[in-house]
Amino acid sequence: MKGLFLRSIENKEKIIIFYMDSKSQVTQRFVRVISMRDESIVAFCYWRKKIRTFKLENILSAGPVRKKLGA
């Protein structure tokens, strides 16, 4: 997962994360990672339209955003 975060930083790529918030609800977020710390990432959240800090222990999964193909 850290490799994906580093690639997001280097290439300014949008990724998707599934995150457990403080109320134990799982949310899906599209983010662009700005920096990594020991226990968290700092990322621009496209849903909130703000820079947010996400704890690594609360990130359940992460992956690249698939581009839509079509007409």
All structural domains of the chain with their residue ranges: 2-46
Q: Which residue has the higher pLDDT, 70 or 27?
A: 27
pLDDT at residue number 69: 64
- Tens digit of each residue's pLDDT (9 = 90 or more) over 41-69: 999 999 999 999 999 999 999 999 987 66
Report percent pLDDT > 90 for the chain.
87
Q: What is the SS3 string spanning 4-50?
A: HHHHHHHHCCCEEEEEECCCCCEEEEEEEEEEECCCEEEEEECCCCE
Question: 15: how many CB neighbours lie within 10 A of its CB?
Answer: 19
Residue 57 tokens, joined: 């222990």
> Judging by DSSP bridges, how do beta strands 26-36 and 50-55 pair with one another?
unpaired
Residue 22: the pLDDT is 87
